[in-house]
Structure 1
């Protein structure tokens, strides 16, 4: 697969990942944490704010993978 195509697909996947992840994380926080204290909200959003990086790293690793000859 050409490198430019891999980068295009990876970029689109990362944008979709971030949008879906933000939607799901916020929806869960709204439904499940509505009566929780402020520190639970802080811990939840700190954790979920960093957690999306793990799947994004896999996509970036795939994008930067070795070229096929």
Structure 2
């Protein structure tokens, strides 16, 4: 697959993933107990861990190029 097509597929995958991720994060947050410290921990984790599943997709999009 050409690099340009790979990046387009990855961009579409990222948009879809983030839409589902945000929906799931809000869905789960609505079901948490009403405590400020739980909300803080949850949103810190959710806000920082969203990038971890995207790393393999980004690596694939670059085609494993050597710098």
TM-score when normalising by structure 1: 0.86
Structure 2, unmatched stretches of 5+, are none
Instruction: Measure the CA separation in 2 of the matches of 1:66 and 1:37.
Output: 44
Q: Note the C-alpha offset of 1:58.
A: 1.3
1:41 matched to which residue of 2? 39
The alignment of Structure 1 onto Structure 2 pairs a total of residues equal to 65
| CA positional deviation for 1:37 | 1.0
Matching of residues 1-69 of structure 1 within 5 Å: 1-31=1-31, 33=32, 35-66=33-64
TM-aligned CA deviation for residue 54 of structure 1:
0.6
Shift of 1:9: 0.1
TM superposition shift of 1:61: 0.6
- In 2, the alpha carbon distance for the partners of 1:44 and 1:66 equals 34
- In structure 1, the gaps of 5 or more residues are none
Please give the root-mean-square deviation of Cα atoms over the aligned residues, in Å: 1.2
